[in-house]
Amino acid sequence: MKPVNIGLLGLGTVGGGTAAVLRDNAEEISRRLGREVRISAVCDLSEEKARQTCPSAAFVKDPFELVAREDVDVVVELFGGTGIAKEAVLKAIENGKHIVTANKKLLAEYGNEIFPLAEEKNVMVQFEAAVAGGIPIIKALREGLAANRIKSIAGIINGTSNFILSEMREKGSAFADVLKEAQALGYAEADPTFDIEGNDAGHKITIMSALAFGTPMNFSACYLEGISKLDSRDIKYAEELGYRIKLLGITRKAEKGIELRVHPTLIPESRLLANVNGVMNAVRVNADMVGETLYYGAGAGALPTASAVVADIIDIARLIEADTGHRVPHLAFQPAQVQAQTILPMDEITSSYYLRVQAKDEPGTLGQIAALLAQENVSIEALIQKGVINQTTAEIVILTHSTVEKRIKSAIAGIEALVCVDKPVTMIRMESLHD
Ligand code: HSE
């Protein structure tokens, strides 16, 4: 069989890794595939790097020239972002090229434009590397779990945030100090906003939610709350109560719609996800027939992410000649079955809550707080007074049972209005991970 020809856009960390995997595992890959995978053209800002990394590929300065080349069957987009990357991907699809991309932002924000165009042009767009790096979670959601109705997904899908939270817990350090350390170690970008404020995890959970429930991409409806405002005191108190705080991407099929959210979350320390530390990623999927499954691995890095990119290239190479009806649908469901569903506003989601309240250490304070929670029908699971901050003020930590978020917010507004309470009340969502 003739080789599959790759046009590589971008030789950054993942692009360099992809070239390395294709070179170092060439024999193993062609043993599996029955044909060779060849990088025929490469586009990068540095010609020198391109010539060094892919000596037998043609160097092309202009991405639009690369995506039009006759000797390119599959365009591997590793530029990232939604500028040139988006234009080049759309143009490549117009030109009938198959696409492999690691670009979560592009798919979460423009997938609703990209996938229909790909279907019209009969090309495949593969994106395993876009979610949780080297973990084959897209494969699992689209194929391995295809017999199931998926109920929920919860994942640690941003390694930078997980590293910071792990360090804060182990060393008791403040967020800002650990962020500096993460930057010095090269785990966090110079501008870490996308990682620490939940955008990156939001893109990934948006993609997984669409695949799980057969909906279009709904990134604009995804609730994003990062870790930059977390106080290490809450990590410590959570631990004393038997919980860990993780930045989770969560999507769940609820009665009235779909929950789609990213935020710091208390989870019981006995759950496997609670023990995923450092830069590692893990995704838990709960589905009706199989029950709970868990996927763990490296969510970033040159070779793990390239492992996913190359697996996608292999998948495309296997199906390139197949009738389009035999391909796996982009969003796991037949395109005509991809249906918009309500994404619940945060007021309508259901969760349990951790509250930390600073209040006057005097008779009646606890009673007033408990009464306001009872008024909103919020049931208390645990309540502890965490010692006295100064001679007159105490810290109270409350864990609630599950409730609708608007009720807890209303109770918090009432608690903050009490004369005996210092504003603001700290609220962190809590998940048992049983459903
Ligand atoms: N920056 C991401 C992370 C990896 O920290 O997990 C790429 O999405």
pLDDT digits (tens, 9 = 90+) for 288-304: 999 999 999 999 999 99
pTM, 2 dp: 0.97
Pairing of strands 380-388, 393-400: antiparallel
Q: Which of 61, 204, 236, 360 is catalytic?
A: 204
Shortest-distance atom of ligand 1 to CA 281: 6
pLDDT of 372 higher than 80: yes
Closest CA to 300 of 278, 273, 316: 278
Q: How far is the CA of 188 from the centre of ligand 1 (A)?
A: 9
Q: What are all long-range contacts of 111-117, with beta carbons under 8 Å and residues at least 24 apart?
A: 111/207, 111/210, 111/216, 111/217, 111/331, 112/216, 112/217, 114/89, 114/90, 115/330, 115/331, 115/335, 116/335, 117/90, 117/93
pLDDT of 150 higher than 90: yes
Alpha-carbon distance values, 156 to 195, 204, 233 (Å): 12, 10, 21
Longest dimension (CA), the chain: 83
Place of tokens 């809550």: 353
Average pLDDT over residues 305-312: 98
Q: How far is the CA of 357 from the centre of ligand 1 (A)?
A: 33
Q: What is the pLDDT of residue 322?
A: 84
Note the helical H segments in 249-377.
302-319, 365-375
Shortest-distance atom of ligand 1 to CA 158: 6
Pocket-testing residue among 195, 207, 276, 281, ligand 1, by greatest number of atoms within 8 A of Cβ: 195
| pLDDT tier, 336 (very low <50, low <70, confident <90, very high otherwise) | very high
| pLDDT tier, 401 (very low <50, low <70, confident <90, very high otherwise) | very high
Q: What is the pLDDT of residue 57?
A: 98
Q: What is the pLDDT of residue 90?
A: 98
Shortest-distance atom of ligand 1 to CA 187: 5
In this predicted model, which residue has the larger pLDDT, 82 or 388?
82
CB of 300 closer than 6 A to ligand 1?
yes
Closest CA to 433 of 213, 266, 263, 290: 266
CB of 160 closer than 6 A to ligand 1?
yes
Pocket-testing residue among 14, 127, 160, ligand 1, by greatest number of atoms within 8 A of Cβ: 160
| pLDDT tier, 38 (very low <50, low <70, confident <90, very high otherwise) | very high
Average pLDDT value over all residues in the chain = 96
pLDDT of 374 higher than 90: yes
Assign residue 379 a region (left: φ > 0; alpha: ψ between -120 and 50; beta: otherwise): beta
Cα separation, 6 vs 4, in Å, equals: 7
CB of 232 closer than 6 A to ligand 1?
no
Q: What is the pLDDT of residue 1?
A: 86
Q: What is the pLDDT of residue 435?
A: 85
Please tell me the least confidently modeled range out of 4-18, 197-211, 386-400, 414-428. Answer: 386-400
Residue 85 structure tokens: 């990357």
Q: What is the pLDDT of residue 323?
A: 83
Closest CA to 246 of 221, 283, 210: 283
Burial 334-359 (b: 16+ CB within 10 A, else e): eeeebeeeebbebeebbbbbbbbbbb
Q: What percent of the chain has pLDDT over 90?
A: 93
Cα separation, 179 vs 167, in Å, equals: 10
Q: What is the pLDDT of residue 391?
A: 76
Q: Is 300 helix (H, G, I), strand (E, B) or coil?
A: coil
Put the strands of the sheet holding 98-101 in their side by side order.
58-59, 37-43, 4-9, 74-77, 98-101, 125-126
Q: What digits encode the pLDDT tens for the residues 267-290?
A: 999 999 999 999 999 999 999 999
In the residue annotation, 121 being an active-site residue is answered as no
Residue 394 structure tokens: 């105490």
Q: 11 φ, ψ to 5°?
A: -120, 40
Cα separation, 98 vs 112, in Å, equals: 17
Q: What is the pLDDT of residue 235?
A: 97
Average pLDDT over residues 378-401: 89
CB of 134 closer than 6 A to ligand 1?
no
Shortest-distance atom of ligand 1 to CA 157: 6
Pocket-testing residue among 200, 204, 208, 279, ligand 1, by greatest number of atoms within 8 A of Cβ: 200
CB of 197 closer than 6 A to ligand 1?
no
C-beta atoms surrounding 363 within 10 Å? 7
Average pLDDT over residues 236-242: 95
